[in-house]
Amino acid sequence: MPAQAVVIGVDSSTQSAKAVFADAATGRTLAVGRAAHEVTGAAGARESDPEGWWRALCEAVARGLKESGVRPSAVTGIAVAGQQHGLVVLDARGRPVRPALLWNDTRAAPQAAALARALPGGAREWAERTGSAPVAALTAAKWRWLTEREPRAAAAAAAVRLPHDYLTEKLSGVAATDPGDASGTGWYATATGRYDPEILGLIGLDARLLPGVAPTGGTRIGSLLPAAAGALGLPAGIAVAAGTGDNMAAAVGLGLGGTGLLDHPVLSLGTSGTVYAATRARPATPALSGFAATDGTYLPLACTLNCTLAVDRIAALLGLGRDTAEAGREIVLLPYLDGERTPDLPGAAGLLTGLRHTTTRQQILGAAYEGAVVTVLRALDEVLTACGLDPAAPGPAARPLRLIGGGARGRSWVETVRRLSGRPLLIPADADLTALGAAALAAAAASTTDPVTVARAWSTFAPPPVELPATDRDTETWERVSSAVDALTREKRDPGTGAG
């Protein structure tokens, strides 16, 4: 009987590292190692020490090895999926010049607005070139912020990386990224598949500081270095994949793209709320992040800053458990506690209206769920339009909504999405789709197989998703909350002055 081959997929997220050990033949999860890392900052700032990501990755792998009982010699490949957009600036020795600016750091909102005006065609031209219009999350806006606010740190840069690039380089010694994560920078042109020299000049970034772009995230870009192997307890020389961004890896884990499912919408409920679908059409609308997928297709995506953490914060303020929520009725609560990205309101604060003497805490919490869900479902309509679909067309049951992320395990989240979307839901049995997608990238790198093909083959061994039928859509709540979002957007103030 042949020896079992094992691959490791790492999800390095905003707050933690997760390492999934998967059977390379079936995708069966053998163990999951986890380790936290720190996020610091207030008043719009969100930063992390990249070396903390590496320590968390090593700890997660060590825990996974111990839990699984897998012999290190059985591991054949590793890949990293990382939080998108983060700006990692390294010195000549490969050490961070300063803490990384994370995707949800909103301080670069003024720089993003200035960049949007800097091209003759404005935001539309940015979207046509790079897939996305500048917002505070994009790495290009963060680099511009750094050059203006911390010029000495920018001048000390010998390399500029994304979070997953940084970790992949620690593993392999190779400076590499992939089209998916690169498409979230603002300086990679999805129209040409290369870095855009005019945009690099516009933001003052030397292309020589950037990593090369591998053809796909499943491309083998190198082998595990002896030093990294020692830190991880793995054999040197195993395959290291190019890796990708977290959303792109989750799409692979779902089998989206390539010859797999296309135009099937996904709603991910995590620190942020994201909606996306794989398509062969290259999106170019300022309303979306027109990302490239990691396999040659595209992944139009919209992201909200405030999702599970924001609603959990409301629950904590009210002294309630997460699943004690009731329908908000006439209350509207927009939980924009960290500003907002979609709609583009980086200076916004939370908004609460419609209180009565009879209002209960449970209704206020329910209104927080409704505000978050309506915000992300409105973004879903934009994604479906980018895929050439009419979100208002009859028969939404034809396209069920795939619900993933930590919120997909919460009753209140699931029922609120179901009530406000009017769509059937599919909830995959595997809760670690980003890490599983990264494992498929690792398997592809170790075997020169297409990662989506790997993931779809694995799905035949996995338990079927939970299927929930559609319910009548709660149009009254939808319209009430949507009106509040529209009103807040119309009253948008200059970034940093606050709104609400």
Active-site annotation, residues: 246
Sign of CA dihedral 338, 340, 341, 347: negative
Q: Which positions ≥6 away from 206 have C-beta within 8 Å?
A: 200
Q: Which positions ≥6 away from 118 have C-beta within 8 Å?
A: 202
Helix, strand counts (H, E) of the chain: 16, 24
First to last CA, the chain: 65
C-alpha–C-alpha distance, residues 216 and 59, integer Å: 27
- Phi, psi (5° rounding) for residue 187? -115, 0
Residue 453 structure tokens: 């093909």
C-alpha–C-alpha distance, residues 50 and 54, integer Å: 7
Residue 188 structure tokens: 């990679």
Q: Which value, in Å, is the radius of gyration of the alpha carbons in the chain?
A: 22
What's the full length of the chain, in residues? 500
Q: Which positions ≥6 away from 477 have C-beta within 8 Å?
A: 327, 328, 370, 374, 419, 420
| CA-to-CA dists, residue 135 to 117, 184, 215, angstroms | 12, 11, 26
C-alpha–C-alpha distance, residues 93 and 98, integer Å: 13
C-alpha–C-alpha distance, residues 348 and 29, integer Å: 41
C-alpha–C-alpha distance, residues 126 and 138, integer Å: 12
